[in-house]
Each structure stands twice: as C-alpha cells, then as structure tokens.
Structure 1
Amino acid sequence: MKLFRNGLLALAATLCIPVALSAPAAATTKLKMVLNWKYQGPQGWFFLADDRGYFKAEGLEVVMDQGNGSGAGVPLVANGTYDVAFGDVNALIELAAKKPDDAPIAVYVMYNRPPFTVAVKADSPIKTPKDFEGKTLGGAANDGALKLFPALCKITKIDCSKVNVTNMQPNLREQMLMQGQVDGVFGYVNTIRFSAKLIGVGDDKLRYINYGDYGMDLYSNAIIVSKKLAKDNPEAVKGLIRAINKGLKDALKDPDAAVAAVAKREPLIKIPVERERFDATLTDEMNHPEIAKIGLGNVDMDRLKKSIDILVEANSLPRTPKVDEIFTPAFLPPASELPHKLF
C-alpha cells in the first residue's frame, strides 16, 4: 500500500509539471509615448522609471520617442499615432473646445507653473508685450508659447496683426535671435536659456517677457492619454502613472542619476548643462506652492477652470470644456505617494 501511495504521488507530481510549465505569462501592454522635446535632462525621470524596471513591474513596455514641441503631442494622441504624450494642457484645452470627441485627457500634471515666454536680447528695446507691435517674432510651429500668443495679445490688449510672426526650425531659434534675424523668439524659459548656453550665449545676454507675469497663470505639461486607453485599459494607465511617479521621486533624490539616464539614450548631451536644466525646470516650472497641499501630479480644479476660461475667451473658442474633460485624478496614486516638495 505504501508503494502504491508513493507511486500515485510521483505520478501526480509528474502530471503537474507540464501544467506548470505551460501556464501563460502575464500579458505585457505596449504603449507608445511621445515626449515634449528632444532628450534632455528634465526627462530623466521617465528613463529612470524604465531603467529601474518600474514600467515592467506594472506589466508595461513603454517606447518613448523624442517630440517636436509640447503642443505637438496632443493631436498625435488624438489621432491614435501615440497612446501617451508628455504635452501641453493648453493645447489639450483648445482641442477639447473644438473637437471634444477626439480630445485625449490629462492624468498627471507635472509642469504647474507657466513656462511660456518670448525671449529677446538683453539690450532689446522690447520691454513689455506692447513693444511687440511692429516687430518680428519667431518660433517653431508646434511651440506652446507660440500657440498661446493670441491669448497673450488679447489679455495684454495688443494688436496681434501688427506683429510679424515667422516659423523657424527649433534648432535655429537662439541663433536667429542673437544674429538679429528676429526680434524675439517663443519658447519655454528653460528650453531657450539652456539651448542658448549650449551655443555659448550666457543668460545675461537674454531677457524674458513671461506670460505668467501678465495674468496667464496656466498649467503646462502633463501626461496625456487617449480616451480609448483610459476606458479600455484603466489599469495600464494607473500602472503608467505609478511608474512615472516612482521615477520622478527617484530623480528628485538623485538628479545625477536622472541625467545619466538621459545620456544613456543621447550620449552627445552636455551633462553639466543638462543637470542645470534639470534643476531650473524643478524651480521654474514645477514648484508651484499648491503642491505642498495637493501633491505634484494633481491640480487645483478652480485654478484649472480659470485657465480654461482664459483660453476660451482669449482665443474665441467655440465652447468651454468642463474641467473633467481636461483632467481626471482617477488614475493618480494615493495623495501620500505624490511628491509634496521638490527640494
């Protein structure tokens, strides 16, 4: 009897082996994500999340492509080219006002201070937006500041038709400004500041006409996902945000590791400059006082509503999107897990 029982156990064990070996692995969700710009220091938190296995732990494989401006990612998600973008909330508001059925939605807002600016040479006669009239300003077609220029014109009561706006390749922006081919250039403060530094132009050679100084207290870049992804695979969106949030917290603890993760993808970057860019982005674009209360990634709903109203009125948009059409906190980690300070 003992031999018989042992034989049955051995047979059962043998039969279980192929069952265990044939158990399917958990499916991996592949996501295509477009960044706001070329690979630079402030994108290090995304790459840390990848390198440290945070995406993989959430069952995700995330491909991150370089972008061509913060406004460019929104339509690319809307048309299905990408699942995710690190893009401008204000471009999202405009799309939601015009084509609400196509518009994606923001799920994690990272840039909570308005970085939009027109940079001029330090000795330029341009001191205020009124001085733009009669001058030539240049910017990349998908630049967030350029797209918001009509709103700035309306708020500051200047005549946009008296400003000559020309498009340029992004890599020529600072060079064309310093050579006097244009009187000012559109962009994000730190993008211009450090791109200029890379061509040997110190910050003392530039001045900035910042939109935020003229009543445009807007949010900026966020993780934006397609409505289809949010509806069909909410767990993937939650996992994506958890992973990015972990990467961000790691980057805050070790900025050098974050910049090194960028250099791994783009060996030609100048690490000291990108390290400075990383710090400046935290200070100037992400350090709104509200994060101490609500955490980075979340928004103040009243402030976002005011932002929507500013853009709708200034750009004469056909409808006013509701706040929950633009941002949802449904995919955020618990508030205790969000960063509440950056330094």
Structure 2
Amino acid sequence: MSLMRSVFAAVLATLAAAPALAETDVKFALDWKFEGPSAPYFVALDKGYYKAEGLNVTIDSGPGSVAGIARVAAGTYPIGFFDINSLMKFRDQNPDKKVVAVQMVYDEPPFAIVSLKKTGITKPKDLEGKILGAPAPDGAFAQWKAFVKENGIDAEKVKIENIGFPVREPMLADGKVDAITGFSFSSFFNLRQKGVPADDIAVMLMSKHGLVLYGNAIMVNPDFAKAHPEVVKGFVKATIKGIIDTAKDPKSAIKSVMKRNETADEAIELARLEMALKDNIVTDWVKANGTGDVDPARLAKSIDQVGITYEFKAKPTAADIFTSEYLPPASERKM
C-alpha cells in the first residue's frame, strides 16, 4: 500500500508541476467605442467562452466601421469587427490584402438618415432641398449613391455638408443641418444625450428603403487565419454564444459593457443594445437560419448595389468576401 501511495503521490506531484496549457493571445478590434452593441463580445469574455476555446482575448475600441479594416489587413489586429461593404472596396483597392469576413453580425445594417421631425423628412425624396450632414468616412454615407438611385432622389437638390463625427449630432440638434447620415443606434441615442426628446427624432433605415446590404461582420487577417484556423473557429464559436446570450438577456449583458465604460449611462446603453438587436442582429432571417451566416445570393446582390456607389476595378464574388468555413453547425447558431 505504501508503494502505491508513493506512486500516487509522485503522479500528483508531476501533474502539479506541469505547466497549464498556454492560451493563445488574440487582439480583437471593435469598430467603435464600448457601447451597448459591443455587449456580446464582453459577455463571451466574462462568461469564459473565449477561455474555453483556449483563447486569451483582448478587446479594443476602434476608429469606425470603415477605417479599422486596415488594422486587420496589417495584422495589428488579426480579427476585427467592421463593415462588410467597405471590405468589398478595400479588397478591390488592395488586391494583395485578402481580408475576409467569417461571421455576419449585423444581418441588416444600421445605416440610417436621421432627422428631427420638425424638418418634415418622412421619406427619402423629402431630402431634396435640405442640407445633409455626413462625415466623409461614415459607413452610412458610403451608401448614399445607391440610396439615391433606389429611391429616385435628385441628388443635385441635396446639399451635402462634410462634418466631423463629434459635431454630427450637435449640428442636427442645433438646426445647422436638416439631417445626418449615421448608424441608427448611435445617432439616435447621441441625440437623446443632447437632450432631444425621443419623439422629436426620426430614423429612416436605409434597409427599409431599397438597400439589401449586410452590415458589420467579424473579419480576419488571411495569414493569421491560414496559420491558426482553429483559433478563428474558436473565436467565432465563442462570439456566437455571446450573441445568443445577449439576445436572451440584454439587461444582464449590458452589465459587461458598463464594467468597461463606467461613465456611460446604463439605461441609454441598454436601449441602444436593444435597438441593435431588434433592427440589425436578430432579424427574421436570423430567427429562421441562425446567426453568423449569409445568404450568398443576397450578398452577391449587395455587391452589385455597392457597385452603384463604387466603381470596381475587378468586382469580387460573394465567396471572395465571406466564408462560412469557420462557423459552427447551424444547430449551435439558433437564436
């Protein structure tokens, strides 16, 4: 018995001395600040979903849904969350940088025209004769020409004023512009924080007025994905769990955001998250098919629509822009 105890003790000592399996460090870039819609990633972090996949994930804020793609292409952030329509243009301009989307998050984009009800803008044609404030690098403004074509707007009758992101909502609130382009859940709640009553704000979603575009997606650096396919699969799997949990219980999920942004207003961030879930993440298509994937035919049509705004040198295919190879089975993606 003493021999067995000695052997057993030796085994325990060996196990105790053995180093724990190292986690893979992953830097993940968001498109914007730590706000309500970023909850799924922090939920996945706080609940240990990334850790369970052997990942040590660091989440950083980003410079916008367009500019951040270059970070992924450069490998500064091997994985990021940015606009898939801007990725189409980026790939065309940088054919050697084959960044690819691996998980769709915004099944419908939050691209919107936001105005105050006193301007009388209730439909796209009402923008004629008005001043539209639009930051040049804004993801929503990037779709302006397609929006114009789909809705028969006389673009020459709309004055476009290039304004910075920080002054966009203040200029609308002060009446210096009649409408602005932006993400619905950003501009709406930024106006609310400026004291504008909710009933005075009008949000016109471009997806409800002819645009079939997708929105932001998880995208990866091609060299990183080739070298670490299991890391990408694990990241996507864990993120999907975070999205599903967030959709089921937004009130709990927002706590994960507030831990990282203590100066934010929790009620506003919760409402911002709930708007994103309703309008962009948990759509009818996602309810039927699960989160994360795309309809290839719709994606192909969206590339055509982006081509209205942007002249491709070599128009990409849907397969160039998005791959489902890193997604878990549909049964694990049901909302």
Using the size of structure 2 for normalisation, the TM-score is: 0.90
Partner residue in 2 for 1:30 = 25
| Rounded Cα–Cα distance in structure 1 between residues aligned with 2:313 and 2:54 | 40
Partner residue in 1 for 2:237 = 242
Is the partner of 2:112 in helix, strand or coil?
Answer: strand
Partner residue in 2 for 1:326 = 321
Q: 1:193 aligns with which of 171, 188, 200?
A: 188
Is the partner of 1:107 in helix, strand or coil?
Answer: strand
Per-residue Cα deviation, 1:208-229 (whole angstroms, up to 9, x for no partner)? 3432233211110111111112
Change (3 A) 1:159 1:238: same
Q: How does 1:208-223 map to 2 (within 5 A)?
A: 208-223=203-218
Change (3 A) 1:103 1:159: farther
Paired letter, 2:177: V
Q: How does 1:121-160 map to 2 (within 5 A)?
A: 121-133=116-128, 135-158=130-153, 160=155
Per-residue Cα deviation, 1:270-322 (whole angstroms, up to 9, x for no partner)? 11111111211111112322223321111111111110111124422212211
Structure 1, gaps ≥5 residues long:
none
Partner residue in 1 for 2:44 = 49
Is the partner of 2:77 in helix, strand or coil?
Answer: coil
Q: Give the greater-gyration-radius structure (CA).
A: 1
Aligned-pair Cα RMSD in Å: 2.5
Using the size of structure 1 for normalisation, the TM-score is: 0.88
1:173 positional shift: 1.7
Is the partner of 2:41 in helix, strand or coil?
Answer: helix
Contact 1:35 1:87 survives alignment (8 Å) = yes
| Rounded Cα–Cα distance in structure 2 between residues aligned with 1:34 and 1:137 | 30
Q: How does 1:81-96 map to 2 (within 5 A)?
A: 81-96=76-91
Per-residue Cα deviation, 1:73-101 (whole angstroms, up to 9, x for no partner)? 22221122211111111111111233232
Moved more, 234-243 or 273-282: 273-282
1:129 positional shift: 3.9
Moved more, 155-164 or 116-125: 155-164
Contact 1:103 1:227 survives alignment (8 Å) = yes
Contact 1:49 1:55 survives alignment (8 Å) = yes
Contact 1:154 1:314 survives alignment (8 Å) = no
Instruction: Confirm or deny that 1:172 pairs with 2:160.
Output: no
Instruction: Confirm or deny that 1:284 pairs with 2:284.
Output: no
Instruction: Count the aligned residue pairs.
Output: 335
Structure 2, gaps ≥5 residues long:
none
1:127 positional shift: 4.7
Change (3 A) 1:51 1:298: same
1:12 positional shift: 10
